[in-house]
Amino acid sequence: MSMARARVARRIAAAAAYGGGGLGLLGGAALGVLVTEVALARRVVGGAGETPPHADGRYGSAFVHALGREPLLLGVLGDSTAAGQGVHRPRQTPGALLATGLAAVAERPVDLRNVALSGAQSYDLERQVTQILSDPERVPDVCVIMIGANDVTHRVPAARSVRLLSEAVRRLRSAGCEVVVGTCPDLGTIEPVYQPLRWLARRLSRQLAAAQTIGVLEAGGRTVSLGDLLGPEFEANPRELFGPDNYHPSAEGYATASMAVLPTLCAALGLWPEDEERPDAARREGILPVARAAAEAAAEGGTEVSATGRGRWALLKRRKRRRLPVPAPGGAS
């Protein structure tokens, strides 16, 4: 199954690289069923109109005088997941959680700037990148992008979606910013979604996640699979990990996803211990063909894929998760 997914992911990524946008993953009839079922599911879930908490600001102020070092700047781009839709306190958003964790590991303050937009599709990334790079004197040290779910539900051709994401990553990397992309979550586990949409949504989202991984690596970024965001842990504990609308994550769900992303975020900045950078065979890590690594990551949340500098080979890692520090009440500290 992973080999078949790898072939599809490679085809999508190739179409994206050559400007294709119409590579379809399902026939018209199946897509018609998908659209109908999505419309029904959207009637069941609620809370989509709420504004996510504003969490921009400085985190880790306890380190402000440490070594006299300037704060790191963390940028967050993407859709409602990146924005923190579904929770009510700034400190519960993924941006705040990641900024707090990054400050603790780096032992220096972290300034958070979140330009994510609820409902955003990949085409909005061009605007968001322009916004995050608007001050040439303050380019982010690292950016986290979470995108893809709305592309699936709005039938954006996968090749176009991947191309837009890859272009965004290239712009950020050209500006000197490290990039970590949380790939499309597994939409097949959303609680109000029933068959046949559940099967179709899982297939589409995993194929897009794998293709995103290939495109991001080629553009110079790293990826972390967000399958856990709406994946097995959510499926097993939906009342705990889903928010009130049964679609967006709860505070505990965002914490679970952020714990998966933080190690890769730190590794991108060279902050992770060197012994953690070597593949661990006991954790089924290793160097694989890019397409195969992408397919395996899409099937297992929390899996990182990064380039090796050896052509079409990638490093697949299943990093140990670390419990996140708790952000100060009220948001930035």
Catalytic: 245?
A: yes
229 CB neighbour count, 10 Å cutoff: 31
133 CB neighbour count, 10 Å cutoff: 19
Tell me which residue of 87, 90, 81 sits closest to 59, measured CA to CA: 90
Distance CA 178, CA 74 (A): 10
The active-site residue out of 79, 141, 161, 248 is: 248
Partners of 140 in beta bridges: none
Distance CA 121, CA 107 (A): 35
232 CB neighbour count, 10 Å cutoff: 13
User: Tokens 């979550």 — which residue?
Assistant: 185
Burial call 188-208: b when 16+ CB within 10 Å, e when fewer: bbbbbbeeebbebbbbbbbbb
Half-sphere exposure of 304 (CA within 13 A, CB side): 31
The active-site residue out of 122, 228, 245, 258 is: 245
Are the C-beta atoms of residues 114 and 70 closer than 8 Å to each other?
no
| DSSP 8-state code for residue 311 | S
Catalytic: 248?
A: yes
Catalytic: 80?
A: yes
Distance CA 58, CA 72 (A): 9
Are the C-beta atoms of residues 332 and 250 closer than 8 Å to each other?
no
Sequential DSSP letters for 63-119 = GTTGGGPPPEEEEEEESHHHHTTT-SSGGGSHHHHHHHHHHHHHTS-EEEEE---TT
- The pair phi, psi for residue 224, each rounded to 5°, is -130, 130
The active-site residue out of 2, 79, 80, 161 is: 80
Partners of 289 in beta bridges: 313
Residue 34: what residue type?
A: L
Are the C-beta atoms of residues 115 and 54 closer than 8 Å to each other?
no
Active site residues: 80, 245, 248
